[in-house]
Amino acid sequence: MGIGGGSDMYRQQILDHYKNPRNYGELDAPTFSHTGENPSCGDTLTVDVGLADDGETIESVAFSGDGCAISQASASMLSERLPGMTLDELDAMDTDDITEMLGVDISPMRIKCAVLARQVAQDGAKLYEGDVDDLDVTKTEGDEV
C-alpha cells in the first residue's frame, strides 16, 4: 500500500503497545533521563536509560508520558528494542529504523509522533556524553516532516 494509510497505522501491535505499554514508568537509578514533546500534538515523553558497567551498553529503559497512540506505542517498542544496543548504535538509528520497528507505514504528517521517543533517547545520550549542553527539552515539531 502507499504512504498515507489510516487504520493500517493502527495494526494490532501498535494498539497493543498503546493500550499495554511495556517498561512504562521510571528507573530507580537511571544513568540519564531526558524529556521531549510535540507541542502542537501535546505528546510528551520522558525516557530513562540505565547503562551497563561498560558505560556504553544500554541495559534498561523506561518511559513515561502521554499523547497519541503512535508516539506512545513507538516509545514502548523502543524500550524493548534498546537494551543490548550501544549508545553509538542508538545514535545511528534513523527514521527508517523506526518505521521498520513499528512495522507500518506512517503518514508524512505523523512521522514526528513516531520518531519522538528515538529523538528523546538520542538527545538524552548526547547530553550525557557531553556532545550538547544547551538542550532543555527535545522538540520534534516540524523538523522531521
Partner 1 sequence: MGSSQQEQYPLDVDAVREEFPILDRKVGGDVTTPGEDENDTKPLVYLDNAATSQTPDRVIDAIADYYRSYNANVHRGIHHLSQEASVAYENAHDRVAEFVGADGREEVVFTKNATEAENLVAYAWGLNELEPGDNVVMTQMEHHASLVTWQQTAKKTGAEARYIRVDDDGRLDMDHARELIDDDTRMVSAVHVSNTLGTVNPVSELVDLAHDHGAYAFLDGAQSVPHMPVDVGELDADFYAFSGHKMCGPTGIGVLYGKEHVLEEMEPYLYGGSMIRRVSFDDSEWEDLPWKFEAGTPVIAQGVGLHAAIDYLDDLGMENVHAHESLLAEYAYDRLTEFDDVEVYGPPGDDRAGLVSFNLDGVHAHDLSSILNDHAVAVRAGDHCTQPLHDELGVAASTRASFYLYNTREEVDQLVDAIDDARQLFA
Quick one: cell of 57?
A: 551498553
15 touches partner 1 (CB under 8 A): yes
Q: What does the chain come to in residues?
A: 145
- CB of residue 15 to partner 1, shortest distance in Å: 7
- Residue 90 sits in the site that holds partner 1 (CB under 8 A): no
Q: Does 96 engage in binding with partner 1 (CB under 8 A)?
A: no
Residue whose CB is less far from partner 1, 81 or 110: 110
**Residues contacting partner 1: total by CB under 8 A:** 24
Of 129, 133, 132, which is closest to residue 55 (Cα–Cα)? 129
What does the binding site for partner 1 look like in residue numbers (CB under 8 A)? Answer: 1-10, 15, 18-19, 40-42, 67-70, 107-108, 110, 113
